[in-house]
């Protein structure tokens, strides 16, 4: 694809709201639970909690999304570093199509560079030629074709305490945008924490989300690359090289000599991405409302939960996670 068209924002085609309406009856018959805001409840589908407007897209993807053998899926629960890992994967996979100055990441929010399959977003012909898709879906909720074809999956998880705090701040900002004045009715951070500990969060229980991909990565290590956010922060260069190998576009000796790995890391750093104009002032349409792109960039720090949760709350969640992950070989302990 020629670079002249690459500086333009990527346009994703979206599933029409009319095509999602048919799932309302199926959703209405599911078990319901308390959401994090008074205007939204959660629905239980295949053992996981979803907000109804997300679940419509999940069911549509179940029925209509057809993966191709070379498709790669960047999967994660919400607020675990998804923006970062998508940016890294996109820049690694498209580095022969663009140079630093023409990358779509300069003019397009990362979530539009790699579309979410359950949001009904797919590339138009004008989009970059990559096989990358993103998803917050639990492993058992992915479209059957993704598993049957043995598509590669990159999975990122994060310390549950930081995940919760980031998720709480994110949804509160979303509510303030799509329902002005309702943010004061949004669940207090302590109450939301209690719900999170019960597994009642978007795409939760969080530990089941992690376990699903963890166990699958043990069964199919050549197909599923499992990362922890904390390791990605600590050993970024090694992780980026591993990503490139997994995506079947390893760095050449010349690229290593020219500092390509370091340049990708610098470009995709929190400081760099959050200061791009598109991410500071750009907007996206979500549920017929404009949502500012800057809500995807808060702090990006490890251990920020300590500024919002008490030590007792942290210990409570640690104990829950330790119990839920017991015997799996997966741990969030350093």
- Dist CA 110 CA 92 (whole Å): 13
Would you call 243 helix, strand, or coil by DSSP?
helix
Please give the distance of CA 70 from its chain centroid, rounded to a whole number: 20
Please give the distance of CA 289 from its chain centroid, rounded to a whole number: 20
Residue 135, CA atoms < 13 Å, CB-side half-sphere: 30
Contacts of 241 (CB under 8 A, 6+ apart): 250, 251, 261
On the question of a cis peptide bond just before residue 205, with omega within 30 degrees of 0, the verdict is yes
Active-site entry in 45, 60, 111, 136: 136
Residue 136: active-site member: yes
CA-based torsion, 116, 117, 121, 125: positive or negative = positive
Q: What would the DSSP string read from start to end of 22-56? A: GGHHHHHTS-EEEEEETTEEEEEETTEEE-HHHHH
Residue 46, CA atoms < 13 Å, CB-side half-sphere: 15
Q: How far apart are the first and last CA of the chain?
A: 44
Helix-helix angle 236-246:82-93, to 10 degrees = 60
Q: Which DSSP helix (H) or strand (E) runs through 88?
A: helix 82-93
Catalytic residues: 136
């Amino acid at each position: 694809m020629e670079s002249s068209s690459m500086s333009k924002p990527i346009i994703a085609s979206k599933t029409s709201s009319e095509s999602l309406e048919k799932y309302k009856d199926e959703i209405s018959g599911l078990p319901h639970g308390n959401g994090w805001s008074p205007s939204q409840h959660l629905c239980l589908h295949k053992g996981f909690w979803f907000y109804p407007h997300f679940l419509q897209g999940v069911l549509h993807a179940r029925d209509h999304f057809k993966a191709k053998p070379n498709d790669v899926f960047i999967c994660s629960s919400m607020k675990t570093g998804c923006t970062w890992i998508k940016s890294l994967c996109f820049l690694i996979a498209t580095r022969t199509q663009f140079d630093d100055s023409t990358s779509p990441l300069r003019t397009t929010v990362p979530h539009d560079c790699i579309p979410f399959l359950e949001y009904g977003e797919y590339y138009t012909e004008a989009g970059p030629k990559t096989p990358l898709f993103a998803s917050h879906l639990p492993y058992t909720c992915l479209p059957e074709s993704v598993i049957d074809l043995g598509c590669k999956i990159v999975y990122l998880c994060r310390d549950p305490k930081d995940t919760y705090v980031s998720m709480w701040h994110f949804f509160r900002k979303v509510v303030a945008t799509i329902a002005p004045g309702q943010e004061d009715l949004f669940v207090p951070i302590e109450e939301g924490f209690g719900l999170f500990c019960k597994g009642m969060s978007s795409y939760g229980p969080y530990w089941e989300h992690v376990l699903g991909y963890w166990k699958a990565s043990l069964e199919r290590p050549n197909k599923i690359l499992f990362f922890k956010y904390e390791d990605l922060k600590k050993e970024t260069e090694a992780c980026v090289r591993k990503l490139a190998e997994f995506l079947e576009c390893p760095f050449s000796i010349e690229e290593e000599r020219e500092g390509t790995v370091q340049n990708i890391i610098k470009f995709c750093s929190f400081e760099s991405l959050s200061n791009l104009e598109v991410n500071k002032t750009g907007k996206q349409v979500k549920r017929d409302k404009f949502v500012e792109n800057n809500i995807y960039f808060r702090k990006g720090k490890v251990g920020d939960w300590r500024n919002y949760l008490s030590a007792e709350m942290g210990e409570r969640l640690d104990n829950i996670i330790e119990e839920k992950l017991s015997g799996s070989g997966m741990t969030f302990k350093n």
